[in-house]
Structure 1
Amino acid sequence: MAFVCCCVAEATTPAPVLASASVLEMRTDDAETVTWHLTADNLSTLNESKILEATGQVALRRGNEFFKADYARYYSTTNWVYLKGNVEVFTGTETIRAEEAEFDLRSRTGWMQKGEIFMEGPHIYFTGERVTKKWGDYYTFEKAKVTSCPPDGEAWSMNAEQAVVEIDGYAQLFGATFDVADTSLAYSPYMILPAKRTRQTGLLMPEYGMSTRRGVYYNQPFYWAVDDRRDVTINEYWMEKRGFMHGVEYRSREASDTAMWMRFDWLDDLTTVKNDADDPIAKDGLVRTNSERFWLRGMTEGRLGDPDWRYKLDLDYVSDQNFLREFNSGMSGFGKSRSQLFELFGRDIRELDRNRISQGMVYREWDRATVALSARYEQDPSLGHGNKNYSADTTVQRLPQLDVFLHKGRAFEEMPLEIEAEAQTVYFHRRNGTQGGRTEIAPRVTLPMNSRYGSVIASMGWRQTMYNTERAKGLDGEPAPTGDYRSLPDYNVAAFTEVGRVWDLEDGALDPATEEVGTRHWKSVYHRVQPRIEYRNIANVDQDRNPYYDDSDRIGPRSELVYSVTNILTRKRGTVVPARDPDSEEEYQKVAYDYLDVIRWRLESGYDLREMDRNDDLEDYPRRPFMDMISDLRFGVFDWLSIYTRSDWSPYLGDFTRHDQGVTFTSQRWGYISTGYSYRPKLDEYNRKRAYTGNLATLTAAVNMWGPWSAAGHMYYDFVRQEGYERAFDLIYSNPCYKFILRYTYDVYDEGIEFLVELPGLTN
């Protein structure tokens, strides 16, 4: 198609002045009528009204599409429009800017001089000396430049002799260079870049650095967008001292309640640990003679055929006890996988130094009942690779398990009596030790009694357990107990009430007609006091004659009284907000209210009646029936300050047995800083023992320092070992078109430093 020449002199007939708005109608190739609305400060016609000229704030609109310029000339015979001066075009996908341009209004094809397209999704600017718009969303650029930096502050760019760009597709660059400032650092005769607002296949930003355990390392991920619901990430992780680790990660979300995340990493390690003295990870009496190392983990959930039946599956299996400790950080590490799984599924995996758990479940829920069939496998990663043989494994496996739950509800409509129950049958498998089946039924009835003065809730339960021992062998090789049953009653009574008062604040009234939007005042404060007393009892039943599979086979007796008082201070705050009348569309201001518990303080203690009557081991452990006194405070009066503190004090030790404190300061301008403290002393009492003292402080912060510089990090300090056993610090330089991160990490297993570069649009 030939372009219209816009510099030909027109007929000299006088140009009549038109109204400042005009309607342009035309027919497309498929005989459809298209209407554009043209507005400008001045409109006039030339050549017997075949040409329309517009000057001053020209706008040509059709639906959500528009053309804007300082000057426009429209040719009615060809339906072309010529634009000049601050040209801006929106064709339904992206915004285009140019010095001058010409377009066919029927097909929206044309050309631009010094054109620029900004794609907001990937945050990329495409510019060219001359830009030609093809049919659809295809563009060709002469003397092209690609960058995520604003045109007035380019720090880096990709420059090419020619570029072909498909919106929401890819950009092909011919004769391309990568430039920093005005210096070319690399050349490629042909290059493809993503130009998508959605997920895209390609290389992701790598991780690289050096550490004491890995040496110099480089981790390059490749992302494959299989379709709009599935994707795969492949990692090649080279470590100077360890070799290549290969990784593959699969994600899918077929529906809002159907998802899968799986990842597998494997490594042929260049180093092994033949004796515990040479183990840099932990002096735990274990070695690691294997060089083939791996970790499989993942979760999935969804519906199983019938929409009422659902399934869940967790996988967590590792080659040895040191793998997760050594590879804790980075995109292939334990911490990253754990946070991704919790974010996607709301379920957690075990800490890195614990046995690994793989389990699956198929279940169905009704209004008052749930049935679930499951299996659970627990792996001891310390077995094999130079340690105890797998044949010596004593870990208990649940293969299979059936659970039935009757949820709490009224037993009779006319009575407040509530009933609930659970039943379970499970087979416990062991390579070594006692194995067999256990079936258990546990009904419970609850009677809530409410009045204007308070509430009393009484409940009574019965746990009936039947054992079917298949093999009785203790862990020490001696015969194990093989009891057939257990009957264990328990009951609980709790009484509580609440008194409170509301204080209206004189300066809490807001007048939306005179106050500015965003003005806030506390309207009132509600103070509540909630005293509570509870008695808990579990019968003293001899269970030593029964097999031991897990902790629920040995439920200790209990007879204790627990009492507490909770103070709650709730504020009611009014805020002036904008509003719109749904009928008249008239805008106005109103006061909206929100509520927040700004102070919650619980004081609790108790008395152990069984401890008061105990006669065992009195010489070594004198009676201590009074429980610790607990003070638990949450404070959040200000938006910028949050405080929590809990302390347990023993009247017998005359000292604290627990501390948990934390303070967080938050500022939109400066960032945040959070500090915490946790203390657990060594204990040796009849009812509780703690072998080690824990005394730990934490500090986490993200601070905007000055200009583009910021810092972030965390530190854990152990006062017992008198060392910071984990530290991580980031120094960040941020720019609208790039971000540099210098990161230092240290823990008891490794120390390293890495440098990260983020280029918006290309590395995200």
Structure 2
Amino acid sequence: MKHTMQDAGFSPQASRRGDRMQDTAYKKKSIMYHVSCIMYHSFLFFLLLFSVCCLQSAVYCFAEEPPTFITSDSLKYEKSTSMYTAKGSVLVEQGETIMIANEMQYDEKTSNVFPEGNVIFDTPDIILKAEKAEFNLNTKKGTFYNAEIFSKKEKFRVSGEEIEKKGEKEYFIKKASITTCENPSPEWCIKGRTADIIIGDRFKVRDATFHVKDFPFLYTPYLLGPALTERKTGLLTPVFGHTQSKGFYYRQPFFWAIDEDKDATFIVDWYTKAGLGEGAEYRYVAPGNVEGKHWLYHFRDKKAELDFYELKSTHSKRSKDGLSGYWNINLLSEENFYREFSMHRDERVNRFLESTGELTLPSDNSRLYLMSQYIIDLKDGSHNSAVAQRLPELGYVVNPSSAGPLVFSMTSSASNFARDKGVSGQRLDIYPKLSHSFGDRVIIFQNLGLRETVYSLQDNADEGFKSSVHRDMFDYNITASSRFIKKYSENFTHGIEPSLGYTFVPWIKNVPLFDSTELSTKQSTIGMSLTNRLLDKKGEFLTVSVSESYNTYERDVPLSPLSVSAYIPRPFPVTADASYNHYTDRMETINSSVSIPFKKFAFSFGERYNQPNNTMFYDIGVGYTHSKNLSAEVKLWYDSKGGGMRDSSFIMKYLQQCWGMTIMVNRKPPDEVNNKPSEISVFVTFDLLGLGSYSARK
């Protein structure tokens, strides 16, 4: 038979007192009714208003602590000590919180309970299991012995010899172990002499040791980390690595959750042979489509006795109606920084590093802008670069707008160009255009442009330019295009898109080269192109395009190279393009790429050939996905024109329920300029659920 004890419940004496109070109140209200109907209706109005306010509020009026119910197989009461003893399937219920144990003592005076045997304390946030406990039902505080906490939302598991519940979500643990793994024998955990944890916030561990299985891996006298799967201030997982020239590598990031809309990350890099580096990243978002990210890094190379600095900064504010702007700044103190320290091939082989910034003020059909552009030449020994820096440019653009049967558009700009060597100066460029199109089956499109460009030049004598140069230009273009479709069956459709065009630029003046504005050439060119499309029920499965042009002003070589391109989307994507020179009877360029998925594998192949530059590159990739937990990828880059094997990389990713690992192996090619051999580097990144991770190189 189940025995039930209720801590707060219904009382007969209280009920009779309530009846007498109701009779008295009724008599008083009757007297008041006869004395003043106005006061009575006022009272009813006030009572109704008070009830509505209570219903609209988020809490109950006159809210009280929920009653406590204790049930068990047997229940004894010791009157002298006011102590209840419950045995067998003991269950304590208090609102949404329950406690289960084999047996339990309950002190009626203090509301202390002493459960023993398979103790389970279950709340909406956590489940706490223990051998025994001392707990107060009123203060919700107590101590659990040989216990384990499981956080339902954050998926954290915390165990210890003693777990003291100090507040609603705050716990103090002796001989603590922290993990997010579900297995009884976790893949990783953090053990410490003591731990102070606020569930959903953070943890602090004294004498902390990071364990992989049962093996102690790292030790720190103090560790602060986030105790949740969302962003929170604390240490992130470190990155380990090794390079042949710089030795062992270690990166330790620290994440600072400043607010919901901003955060910062601080990192320390250490190479045993090269030196120490430090960096900081700051990110933010704000109302009005505002966002930004800023990164500053410094490394002191003790071998080269050289300081490297890197700055990356982006900020944008987008608006359709008002002032918009952005900047994207990328600066280096040394041109070889990426070749020395980057683990990403795209950064190592990049020739130029660009920084831009722009303010834009749009109107109904135009926009006014102010922009700057700064480019760093990353080639060794290019401190005095011939690249023109746009510092700054003021421009006004008129978007295409109808003017009767014509469409008018215009670009205009005033630019200042500076560079270390070569011609510098200022340029004013105005380029209005008129365009017109008509036709149905055959569409005729034509445009007429008048361009006026004025230069004021400095450092111009060596290249034979006057200090003041003027260029006016006229260009006309007309194109006729059409589309013919023949459907042979439900499974096969053929489309042909021919195009014939003519471009006329009768004269052009020699001016210094700053950007694409100066790339126009004198021409009277007829251009032809033909595109074939083949389709089935699933859509397009083959596209082939052919194009060529003939310039009557080029008497020696009027024909341009014949260009051919093709694209096959199915069953695996293939792209290819090539150009053929009639006069040398040789292929000038050949480019192709193909990706072939086959069961758990993915193969990729690319080829880049350029006959005028005498280059021939191949890139080969193989990917393997063993399961959703394990995948690997290998990539190779090969120079067949003498360089041989260039870059190569191997990436393996392993993912489990509570942790993941990425291993990256890179091979850098020899540096002929600085007489350095090829180098192999290895980086290992861990991602622990609940602790977060950070990449080895920004």
Say whether the fold is shared (TM-score over 0.5): yes
The amino acid across from 1:314 in the alignment is N
After superposition, where does 1:585-624 map in structure 2 within 5 Å?
597=539, 599-606=541-548, 608-610=549-551, 614-615=554-555, 618=556, 624=559
The amino acid across from 1:635 in the alignment is P
Determine the C-alpha separation between the residues in 2 that align with 1:322 and 1:190: 38
User: CA 1:334/1:205 → structure 2, altered by over 3 Å: closer, same or farther?
Assistant: farther
Unaligned runs of 5+ in 1: 1-13, 273-289, 339-350, 505-524, 573-596, 683-689
Q: Paired residue for 2:449?
A: 462
Q: Paired residue for 1:473?
A: 460
- The structural deviation recorded for 1:404 is 1.5
- The structural deviation recorded for 1:733 is 5.3
Contact 1:700 1:715 in 2 (8 A): no
Q: CA RMSD in A?
A: 4.6
SS at structure 1 position matched to 2:469: coil
Given candidates 584, 594, 610, the residue that maps to 1:662 is 594
- The structural deviation recorded for 1:466 is 2.8
The amino acid across from 1:302 in the alignment is K
The answer to whether 1:552 aligns with 2:517 is yes
Given candidates 201, 209, 218, the residue that maps to 1:169 is 201
The amino acid across from 2:592 in the alignment is D
Contact 2:225 2:233 in 1 (8 A): no
Q: Paired residue for 1:495?
A: 481
The answer to whether 1:295 aligns with 2:310 is yes
Given candidates 326, 329, 338, the residue that maps to 1:324 is 338
Deviation digits for residues 487-517 of structure 1 (CA, Å, limit 9, x no counterpart): 222213242225365977xxxxxxxxxxxxx
Contact 2:575 2:592 in 1 (8 A): yes
SS at structure 2 position matched to 1:552: helix
Determine the C-alpha separation between the residues in 2 that align with 1:366 and 1:666: 53
After superposition, where does 1:239-278 map in structure 2 within 5 Å?
239-255=271-287, 257-272=289-304
Q: Paired residue for 1:686?
A: none
Contact 1:94 1:119 in 2 (8 A): yes
Determine the C-alpha separation between the residues in 1 that align with 2:461 and 2:74: 102
Given candidates 349, 353, 356, the residue that maps to 2:353 is 356
After superposition, where does 1:428-467 map in structure 2 within 5 Å?
428-430=417-419, 432-449=421-438, 451=440, 454=441, 456-467=443-454
The answer to whether 1:234 aligns with 2:266 is yes
SS at structure 1 position matched to 2:544: strand
- The structural deviation recorded for 1:267 is 3.3
The answer to whether 1:403 aligns with 2:395 is yes
The amino acid across from 2:544 in the alignment is R
Unaligned runs of 5+ in 2: 12-58, 78-83, 672-677, 694-698
User: CA 1:460/1:194 → structure 2, altered by over 3 Å: closer, same or farther?
Assistant: same
Determine the C-alpha separation between the residues in 2 that align with 1:674 and 1:39: 66
Q: Paired residue for 1:516?
A: none
The amino acid across from 2:226 in the alignment is P
Contact 2:202 2:227 in 1 (8 A): yes
Determine the C-alpha separation between the residues in 1 that align with 2:621 and 2:138: 62
User: CA 1:716/1:547 → structure 2, altered by over 3 Å: closer, same or farther?
Assistant: closer
SS at structure 2 position matched to 1:199: coil
After superposition, where does 1:88-487 map in structure 2 within 5 Å?
89-91=122-124, 93-94=125-126, 96=128, 115-119=147-151, 124-174=156-206, 176-182=208-214, 191-255=223-287, 257-272=289-304, 291-302=306-317, 308-329=322-343, 352-380=349-377, 394-412=386-404, 415=405, 417-430=406-419, 432-449=421-438, 451=440, 454=441, 456-471=443-458, 473-476=460-463, 478-480=464-466, 482-487=468-473
SS at structure 2 position matched to 1:728: strand
Given candidates 645, 649, 653, the residue that maps to 2:575 is 645
SS at structure 2 position matched to 1:324: helix
Q: Paired residue for 2:19?
A: none
SS at structure 1 position matched to 2:231: coil
Q: Paired residue for 1:745?
A: 666
The answer to whether 1:563 aligns with 2:522 is no
The amino acid across from 1:562 in the alignment is M
The amino acid across from 1:696 in the alignment is Y
Determine the C-alpha separation between the residues in 1 that align with 2:519 and 2:207: 75
SS at structure 2 position matched to 1:484: strand
Determine the C-alpha separation between the residues in 2 that align with 1:421 and 1:492: 18
- The structural deviation recorded for 1:223 is 3.0
User: CA 1:121/1:714 → structure 2, altered by over 3 Å: closer, same or farther?
Assistant: farther
After superposition, where does 1:642-721 map in structure 2 within 5 Å?
642-648=572-578, 650=580, 652=582, 653=585, 655=587, 657-665=589-597, 670=600, 672-682=601-611, 690-704=612-626, 710-721=631-642
The amino acid across from 1:297 in the alignment is K
- The structural deviation recorded for 1:464 is 1.6
- The structural deviation recorded for 1:630 is 1.5
SS at structure 2 position matched to 1:553: helix
Determine the C-alpha separation between the residues in 2 that align with 1:635 and 1:185: 49
Determine the C-alpha separation between the residues in 1 that align with 2:145 and 2:438: 81
- The structural deviation recorded for 1:153 is 2.9
Determine the C-alpha separation between the residues in 2 that align with 1:72 and 1:307: 71
User: CA 1:162/1:296 → structure 2, altered by over 3 Å: closer, same or farther?
Assistant: closer
The amino acid across from 1:645 in the alignment is T
- The structural deviation recorded for 1:44 is 12
- The structural deviation recorded for 1:313 is 1.2
Determine the C-alpha separation between the residues in 1 that align with 2:153 and 2:649: 31
Deviation digits for residues 19-53 of structure 1 (CA, Å, limit 9, x no counterpart): xxxx9999x9994146699999x999999xxx9x9
Determine the C-alpha separation between the residues in 2 that align with 1:363 and 1:630: 39
- The structural deviation recorded for 1:442 is 2.1
- The structural deviation recorded for 1:123 is 5.0
Determine the C-alpha separation between the residues in 2 that align with 1:485 and 1:676: 47
The answer to whether 1:725 aligns with 2:653 is no
The two structures have a TM-score, normalised by structure 2, of: 0.75
SS at structure 1 position matched to 2:338: helix
Deviation digits for residues 271-316 of structure 1 (CA, Å, limit 9, x no counterpart): 55xxxxxxxxxxxxxxxxx833322222221269x97111111222
Contact 1:739 1:758 in 2 (8 A): yes
Q: Paired residue for 2:570?
A: 636
Determine the C-alpha separation between the residues in 1 that align with 2:424 and 2:223: 63
The amino acid across from 1:320 in the alignment is E
Contact 2:321 2:363 in 1 (8 A): no
User: Which range is displaced more, 438-447 or 170-179?
Assistant: 170-179
Determine the C-alpha separation between the residues in 2 that align with 1:756 and 1:328: 15
Contact 2:232 2:256 in 1 (8 A): yes
More helix by share: 2
Determine the C-alpha separation between the residues in 1 that align with 2:184 and 2:376: 58
Determine the C-alpha separation between the residues in 2 that align with 1:407 and 1:380: 34
User: CA 1:695/1:30 → structure 2, altered by over 3 Å: closer, same or farther?
Assistant: same
The amino acid across from 1:300 in the alignment is H
User: CA 1:58/1:457 → structure 2, altered by over 3 Å: closer, same or farther?
Assistant: farther
User: CA 1:614/1:15 → structure 2, altered by over 3 Å: closer, same or farther?
Assistant: closer
**% identical aligned pairs:** 18
SS at structure 2 position matched to 1:459: strand
Paired residues, number: 626
- The structural deviation recorded for 1:527 is 4.2
SS at structure 2 position matched to 1:226: strand
User: CA 1:462/1:120 → structure 2, altered by over 3 Å: closer, same or farther?
Assistant: farther
Q: Paired residue for 1:3?
A: none
User: CA 1:321/1:311 → structure 2, altered by over 3 Å: closer, same or farther?
Assistant: same
Contact 1:742 1:753 in 2 (8 A): no
The amino acid across from 1:326 in the alignment is E
User: CA 1:183/1:458 → structure 2, altered by over 3 Å: closer, same or farther?
Assistant: closer
- The structural deviation recorded for 1:448 is 3.6
Contact 1:466 1:486 in 2 (8 A): yes
Determine the C-alpha separation between the residues in 1 that align with 2:500 and 2:9: 81
- The structural deviation recorded for 1:362 is 0.9
Contact 2:239 2:686 in 1 (8 A): no
Contact 2:293 2:313 in 1 (8 A): yes
Q: Paired residue for 1:276?
A: none
- The structural deviation recorded for 1:166 is 0.4
User: CA 1:45/1:418 → structure 2, altered by over 3 Å: closer, same or farther?
Assistant: farther
The amino acid across from 1:599 in the alignment is F
Contact 2:73 2:89 in 1 (8 A): no
The amino acid across from 1:650 in the alignment is Y
The amino acid across from 1:484 in the alignment is H
